[in-house]
Amino acid sequence: MDILKFKNFSWTYEGFNTPIIKKINLTIKKGEFVGMIGRVGAGRSSLCSSILGLIPHFYPGKFEGNIIVDGVDVETSSLSKLSTIVGLVFQSPTNQLSGAGTTVEEELAFGLENLGIQRHEIIKRVEEMVKLIGLEKFSSRNPFELSGGQQQKVAIASVLIMEPKILVMDEPTAQLDPLGTKLVFDLIKKLASKGITILLNTQNVDQLAEFADRIIIMDKGEIAADGDARSILTDITLLKKYGIEPSQLTTLSYKMKEKKLWNKPLCLTMKDAEEMVCEVMKR
């Protein structure tokens, strides 16, 4: 089932002459884990905003074509309706925090309260989330009195706790340490296993290699490439063309090929690389 569909979608911010997103056609199936990558300014954040309907309902501008989210037409629907389907983790955590709560717990409960969920159920879910994301020690802290990474965790948790049908994340772990990143991805994997559709925008190729099934490269407002993760992320020529640095592991296998030390497909994951090195050392 197609849960997300862009049909000839273009977007021009008010006051600008040229569209920032140009005639995009894209279909995402329910349960897919899609990664998105590209140069800065390619329009990735704008595309994320359009799925939640911030474009066009918050940002003014010219909207052309259609976006259909779980059967709902974004342009004619409303932010409040779309937010029951889509969860968006913003690039900047400061923009995410509602400021409605004076503690981390209250911030996390805020969205659930708006859904009219029962008090005891909210308390249970908040407690669980705080633990899973590693914020136990900070649950009664004011969200604005936290370190940058801790704030980013609160922002992510406030979206994940809603268990949206479509989860869109715009560079969610840019400020997180490895442990925090792992906790977040463990949570995301859990949601993915429940059939939630995920769109992850990141510059971290190793992260995409580990989690995404399908990769979209955006360039200058258009979709430059769309395919399965392994074939896209090991296509060094394609990546370089769009300003993307391959994984160090892919580069290693590429350089080994050049030196005639390796003649099989390029590596993408740690497992591939370990196998490659073992084989080369045995020879």
Partner 1 sequence: MTPIIKVNNLMFSYPNGVVALRNINLEINKGEIVAIIGHNGSGKTTLVKTFNGLLKPTSGEVLINGVSTKNENTAKLSKIVGYVFQNPDDQIFNNSVYNEVAFGPGNLNLKKEEINKRVLNALEIVGLEKDKKMHTLDLSLNKKKLVTIASIIAMNPEVIILDEPSSGQDHEGTVKIEALIKELQKNHTVIIISHDMNLVSKVASRVIVMWDSNLIFDGDKRTAFMNSDLLKKTDVSPPIITQLAQKIKGFRKDILTADEFIDEIIKLKK
Q: Quick one: which segment of 27-35, 61-69, 118-126, 143-151 binds partner 1 (CB under 8 A)?
A: 143-151
Tell me the C-alpha distance between 272 and 276, whole Å: 6
Q: Does 94 bind partner 1 (CB under 8 A)?
A: yes
Helix ranges (H only) for 91-227 are 93-96, 104-114, 119-132, 148-160, 178-193, 205-211
Query: Which of Mg ion, ligand ATP, partner 1, none has residue 59 at its interface (CB below 5 to 8 Å by kind)?
Result: ligand ATP
Q: Of the candidates 5, 7, 13, 224, which one interacts with ligand ATP according to CB under 6 A?
A: 13
Q: Is 193 helix (H, G, I), strand (E, B) or coil?
A: helix
Q: Does 179 bind ligand ATP (CB under 6 A)?
A: no
Tell me the C-alpha distance between 243 and 217, whole Å: 10
Shortest reach from residue 223's CB to partner 1, in Å: 17
Q: Does 215 bind partner 1 (CB under 8 A)?
A: no
Nearest residue to ligand ATP, by Cβ distance, number only: 149
Q: Of the candidates 177, 186, 228, 279, which one interacts with partner 1 according to CB under 8 A?
A: 177
Neighbours of 266 (CB within 10 A): 23
Query: Which of Mg ion, partner 1, ligand ATP, none has residue 248 at its interface (CB below 5 to 8 Å by kind)?
Result: partner 1
Q: Does 45 bind ligand ATP (CB under 6 A)?
A: yes
* Distance between start and end Cα atoms, the chain: 48
Tell me the C-alpha distance between 114 and 275, whole Å: 50
Q: Does 264 bind partner 1 (CB under 8 A)?
A: no
Q: Quick one: which segment of 24-32, 89-97, 112-120, 213-221 binds partner 1 (CB under 8 A)?
A: 89-97
Tell me the C-alpha distance between 60 and 276, whole Å: 52
Determine how β-strand 21-29 pairs with β-strand 33-38. unpaired
Q: Does 211 bind partner 1 (CB under 8 A)?
A: no
* Residues 135-174 close enough to bind ligand ATP by CB under 6 A: 145-150
